[in-house]
Structure 1
Amino acid sequence: MKIHFIGIGGIGASGLAGFCLSKGHEVSGSDLSDSQIIKALKKQGAKIFVGPHDSANLTNRVDLVVYTAAATPDNPELKKAKKLGIKCQSYAEALGDLTKRMFTIAVSGMHGKSTTTAMLALVLEKAGLDPTVIVGTRLREWGNRNFRVGKSKYLVIEADEYN
């Protein structure tokens, strides 16, 4: 599947994009500014456009567009995707689809979500439960990534960024 992320540099979207790349999907994306996260995704194989959002960043070969809460309805890439009839999902909707296929543990709250999610994921990993994880921080235990692809039915997510 070919997936384009609008706002791919965000901590949640970048984790989901990294997960998708690890699962063999072709990933492209755009973000207003460059970052270490974007550089890491590029190394993993993502094609990322940095700078103002532009409809030219999106081709009609894309199967799905995932956009963050920061993408406004007049975003040129989102408008083009809708005009072309490409399926569009918010980050929350795309992550929600993943939770339907796995036994999900979601960490929510006002403070400490990333730390708690990471600690829980590391405990499950050390216990041999091999979870998939999408978290709002990068962990050195996972090569400085904010996601981990496991082989079990377990998915641990940081429940944040949902409008």
Structure 2
Amino acid sequence: MKAVKLIVLITSMGLTLSGCVTNRTKSVAEERISLDYSPAYSVVVAPSSSVKVSKARAYQDGEEFVVSGQVKRMHRVKLPGHVDLAVCAPDGTPLAQETISIQGLHSNRKGVLYLPFRHRLAMVPPAGARIRLQYHAPASAKPELSCEKS
């Protein structure tokens, strides 16, 4: 009878510890910024405050150009902002500047929140173009996103 109790105890502890390790690995992986560095387009995320662009991808879809990804909100924000998008030619010339609204950013839910975004442009930039993204709070004094080399 003691052997059965010991086996049940060891199995329970093993399952509990493996669950902790699995959750730890997931949280560390979520902290990394995952960007799509395709050979045709590079995506650059400018640093920002409590809301960050955590994933970004740029690709051609037929006659349109799509920029998609997700923002990570660390805590509730009083006034939700937007993501600024700048498409820059390889020589630094601005090709397009857009503003992307993020649905659900004003949620009263506490804690970390991941929100997807997707924006379609009617133009397709040339190969080697750089796509710049940055979250912009409405009350911040940050200038408009530019194509300057950084």
TM interval, shorter chain, is under 0.3
Asked which structure has the greater CA Rg, the reply is 2
Q: Which has the higher contact order (CA 8 A, sep 6+)?
A: 2
Kindly indicate which of the two structures has a greater share of residues assigned to helix. Answer: 1
Kindly indicate which of the two structures has a greater share of residues assigned to strand. Answer: 2
Output the TM-score relative to the length of structure 1.
Answer: 0.23
